[in-house]
């Protein structure tokens, strides 16, 4: 080998140089073709040029967002599934004999229209909403719903841990499958990478079905770590639905010392809004498995209207033409006249959302942002700190939750409107991930969320603009470096 290199090292070096040039130029062309945002295109171009071979590899793994074979495939599957699901009886959608939908208050009509785009869902009336602010109470409610299932259980989570909490859900799903309930379980292949297929054997042996979403090591999907399914959905018998910020794992019930107390927000909904959650799940399931589950058994006729809340499910992903979750956040912030309160562990949004918050702060709206004190992802945390000064300068109050892990994801506006779900206020949730939120047009439900928000502030540290401005130069440098990765955070 040494003799070969001594004789042909110049040829080897020449071929390697040529390979580097071809890879760099090819990657730059891909960057220019795929990246619409100028800053994102510039950042990736610099990475490709300044980091030979490493930069192109990073772009191959992290850079693809909206144009790729998996996304085109999912768009095709969505159209196919919607055509297959079109045979659901019309009365199953609203409930035969159900009261007509109550009108959305005029000031929120714009938000309702934005969320009800061609791929979206309408506002539904007659829903009952129950909020959970701790993982254990939410888990108990979900496990109870699974135990009462009569026809089907559809469950979808980004993270599913092989720990005590995960085993509790596996046991509940296995028992449901054994008594003849249809069980469909979808997990994200990256979020649940630590979970072995052995954990799910009992479910499958009992007749349930389990599938991963966009397997990372499948070459068909180009080894993408982006484009993840970040949704958290549970639907039982088409009548009861759950969604929010909780995944399944011991940390979400405060049993992992690294995180300590875990603060999250999840909700249970009964009523017509469950149909929308059902459709989101079944579309994802069809993409992952090619099974098109459809029919009135999944969309019950005579669906009860047990409450008075107006609820609208909004979902988005890189395959969607409308970035509906981002649009609802953006428009919701701009509709605020008195207060805009936000809880999100990660704050790395695009320029438009940042501008909306800054303008609201300058206009005298009471804008408050509640985020982490002890981060679990340091790069995202440092990138968020880079953007805090513009918020503080505009009069926005920034708080860090110091009791433990703050994982809630919600937006509250003027005590009348709320968005609760899986989407963080960062580019990954708003542009890259598959997300699902519930928009709530109900002052009573919003009041409960506001009360919890104020309680969380009692456990939080408010950022002092002057003190923060005096932070060390090393911290500023780290923040500046982290924000360069903001397009994928």
Q: Is 113 tagged catalytic?
A: no
Q: Is 377 tagged catalytic?
A: no
Q: What count of other Cβ atoms lies within 10 Å of the Cβ of residue 17?
A: 11
**DSSP states of 86-146 as a string?**
GGS-THHHH-TTPPPPPPPPGGGHHHHHHHSSTTS---EEEEEEEEE-SHHHHHHHHHHHH
What is the C-alpha to C-alpha distance for residues 362 and 394, in angstroms, rounded to an integer? 5
Q: What count of other Cβ atoms lies within 10 Å of the Cβ of residue 51?
A: 14
Residue from 264, 414, 426, 456 carrying the catalytic annotation: 414
Whether 134 and 279 have beta carbons less than 8 Å apart is answered as no
Residue from 237, 264, 319, 442 carrying the catalytic annotation: 237
What is the C-alpha to C-alpha distance for residues 144 and 128, in angstroms, rounded to an integer? 17
What is the C-alpha to C-alpha distance for residues 148 and 169, in angstroms, rounded to an integer? 14
Residue from 35, 152, 154, 232 carrying the catalytic annotation: 232
Q: Is 188 tagged catalytic?
A: no
CA distances from 419 to 267, 288, 348, 411, 415 (A): 11, 27, 18, 5, 12
Q: Is 444 tagged catalytic?
A: no
According to DSSP, residue 464 is labeled P
Q: Is 407 tagged catalytic?
A: yes
**Per the structure block, which two tokens stand in for 265?**
């927000």
Q: Which residues pair with 266 in a beta bridge?
A: 132, 244
What is the C-alpha to C-alpha distance for residues 323 and 410, in angstroms, rounded to an integer? 17
CA distances from 84 to 286, 299, 304, 314 (A): 10, 14, 25, 21
Q: Is 232 tagged catalytic?
A: yes
**DSSP states of 396-448 as a string?**
-EEEEE-SEEE---EEEETTTEEEEES--EEHIIIIISBEEEEEEE-HHHHHH
CA distances from 459 to 331, 404, 462 (A): 29, 9, 10
Residue from 230, 286, 305, 323 carrying the catalytic annotation: 230
What is the C-alpha to C-alpha distance for residues 474 and 478, in angstroms, rounded to an integer? 6
Give the burial string for 202-211 (b: 16+ CB within 10 Å, else e): bbeebebbbb
**DSSP states of 30-50 as a string?**
HHHHH--SHHHHHHHHHHHHH
Whether 172 and 140 have beta carbons less than 8 Å apart is answered as no
Which three-class secondary structure string do you get for 78-92?
HHHHHHHHHHCCCHH
- Biggest CA pair distance of the chain: 87
Residue from 35, 154, 407, 426 carrying the catalytic annotation: 407
Residue from 74, 286, 323, 409 carrying the catalytic annotation: 409
Q: With the C-alpha atoms ordered 201, 207, 213, 217, is the resulting torsion angle positive or negative? A: positive
C-alpha triplet 38, 349, 410: angle, nearest 5°: 155
Catalytic residues: 230, 232, 237, 407, 409, 414
């Amino acid at each position: 080998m040494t003799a070969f290199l001594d004789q042909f090292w110049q040829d080897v070096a020449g071929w390697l140089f040529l390979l580097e040039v071809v890879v760099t130029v090819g990657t730059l062309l891909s960057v220019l073709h795929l990246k619409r945002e100028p800053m994102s295109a510039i950042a990736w171009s610099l990475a490709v040029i300044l980091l030979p071979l490493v930069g192109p590899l990073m772009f191959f793994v992290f850079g693809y967002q909206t144009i790729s074979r998996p996304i085109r495939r999912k768009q095709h599957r969505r159209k196919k599934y919607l055509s297959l699901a079109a045979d659901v009886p019309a009365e199953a959608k609203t409930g035969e004999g159900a009261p007509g939908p109550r009108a959305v208050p005029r000031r929120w009509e714009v938000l309702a229209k934005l969320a009800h785009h061609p791929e979206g869902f309408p506002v539904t009336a007659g829903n009952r909403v129950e909020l959970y602010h701790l993982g254990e109470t939410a888990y108990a409610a979900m496990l109870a719903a699974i135990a009462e299932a009569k026809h089907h259980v559809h469950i979808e989570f980004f993270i599913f841990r092989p720990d005590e909490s995960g085993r509790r859900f596996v046991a509940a799903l296995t028992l449901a499958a054994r008594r003849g309930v249809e069980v469909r379980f979808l997990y994200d292949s990256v979020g649940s990478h630590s979970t072995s297929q052995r954990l799910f054997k009992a479910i499958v042996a009992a007749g349930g079905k389990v599938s991963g979403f966009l397997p990372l090591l499948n070459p068909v999907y180009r080894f993408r770590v982006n484009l993840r399914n970040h949704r958290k959905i549970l639907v039982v018998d088409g009548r009861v639905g759950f969604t929010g910020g909780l995944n399944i794992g011991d940390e979400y019930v405060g049993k992992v010392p690294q995180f300590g107390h875990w603060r999250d927000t999840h909700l249970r909904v009964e009523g017509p809004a469950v149909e929308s959650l059902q459709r989101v799940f079944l579309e994802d399931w069809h993409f992952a498995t090619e099974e098109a589950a459809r029919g009135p058994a999944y969309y019950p006729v005579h669906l009860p209207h047990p409450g008075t809340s107006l609820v609208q499910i909004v979902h988005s992903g890189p395959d969607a033409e409308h970035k509906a979750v981002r649009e609802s956040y953006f428009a919701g912030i701009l509709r605020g006249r008195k207060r805009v309160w936000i809880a999100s562990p990660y704050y790395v949004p695009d320029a438009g959302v940042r501008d909306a918050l800054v303008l609201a702060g300058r206009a005298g709206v009471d804008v408050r942002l509640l985020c982490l004190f002890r981060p679990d992802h340091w790069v995202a945390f440092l990138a968020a700190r880079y953007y805090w000064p513009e918020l503080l300068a505009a009069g926005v109050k920034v708080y860090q939750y110091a009791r433990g892990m703050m994982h809630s994801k919600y937006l509250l506006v003027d005590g009348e409107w709320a968005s609760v779900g899986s989407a963080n206020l960062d580019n990954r949730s708003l542009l890259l991930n598959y997300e699902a939120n519930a928009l709530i047009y109900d002052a009573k439900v919003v009041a409960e969320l506001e009360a919890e928000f104020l309680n969380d502030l009692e456990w939080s540290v408010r950022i002092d603009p002057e003190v923060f401005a005096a932070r060390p130069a090393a911290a500023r440098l780290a923040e500046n470096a982290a924000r360069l990765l903001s397009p994928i955070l």
